[in-house]
Amino acid sequence: MTTPDLPLSAIPAALDLTGIAVFALTGALLAAKLRQTFVTLAFFALVTGVGGGSIRDLLIGAPVFWIHDPWVAPVCLGTALVAWFTPTRWWDGELLDWADAVGLAAYSVIGTAKSLAYGVPVVPAVLMGVITGCVGGIIRDVLAGRPSILMRPELYVTAAALSATLAAALSGLDRVIGWPLAMGAGFALRGLAIHRKLALPAYGRGQRRD
């Protein structure tokens, strides 16, 4: 069996690493706010940066992407150093949320496209896209002992699902057209949620309970 011509080959290396660094930074900063050691910061950075993509690759039978890349692990560890030597107040506010929104949309599309390239059917491929974008953050939150993004009503997983679904639906188009459209839609939904504090309704809200 030959290795598919993966869509990831079309992603500029700097853009790919930038997205990983953004996710890694969210993990390292959470550990920093919890007053953990540098070892913990580095671990949080790594699992947040590569967690979703690693699980995706294991599930679709692909080589785990960062094991064979000489840059990914050093970028995650370098990001932990940045978090260690900078005050956490530098990262307060919505700046990191917006950067994370870009990474979320991009990696949801990349995860879907890579899964489709490995012959995964459309619906599981979309789910692989959501896993790529979200699971690193879920692992981070579980390790930190706080409610994960799955347990919060904010439009996060929904934005990832939108990008992933559009990536699959537009897979027949040239990736130069389809990918930006899919990424833009997910980013717009996540950005609207950040700006307007939008959230999904919780079960039972407004209903009578017996």
Burial class (CB in 10 A: 0-12, 13-18, 19+), 97: middle
Span 148-170, mean pLDDT?
92
CA 101 – CA 163 distance, rounded (Å): 11
> What is the H or E stretch that residue 163 is in?
helix 157-169
pLDDT digits (tens, 9 = 90+) for 183-195: 999 999 999 999 8
Confidence of residue 142 (pLDDT cuts 50, 70, 90): very high
- Tell whether 210 is covered by a domain: no
The β-bridge partners of 154 are: 199
> Which domain range does residue 75 map to?
13-196
CA 166 – CA 176 distance, rounded (Å): 14
> What is the H or E stretch that residue 102 is in?
helix 95-117
- Tell whether 2 is covered by a domain: no
Span 94-117, mean pLDDT?
90
Give residue 83's Cα distance to chain centre. 19
Residue with the bigger pLDDT between 207 and 109: it is 109
- Tell whether 7 is covered by a domain: no
- Tell whether 24 is covered by a domain: yes
- Tell whether 8 is covered by a domain: no
Beta strands per DSSP E along 36-192: none
- Tell whether 55 is covered by a domain: yes
- Tell whether 88 is covered by a domain: yes
Confidence of residue 89 (pLDDT cuts 50, 70, 90): confident
Q: Which residue has the tokens 């660094």?
A: 21
Q: Which of 30-39, 143-152, 197-206 has the highest mean pLDDT?
A: 30-39
Other Cβ atoms less than 10 A from the Cβ of 197: the count is: 9
CA atoms within 13 Å, Cβ hemisphere of 92: 5
pLDDT digits (tens, 9 = 90+) for 66-84: 998 999 999 999 999 999 9
DSSP 8-state symbol, 199: B
- Tell whether 39 is covered by a domain: yes
Domain count for the chain: 1
Are 108 and 133 in contact by the 8 Å Cβ rule? The answer is yes
pLDDT digits (tens, 9 = 90+) for 7-51: 445 455 666 788 889 889 989 999 998 999 999 999 999 999 999
The SS3 assignment for 154 reads strand
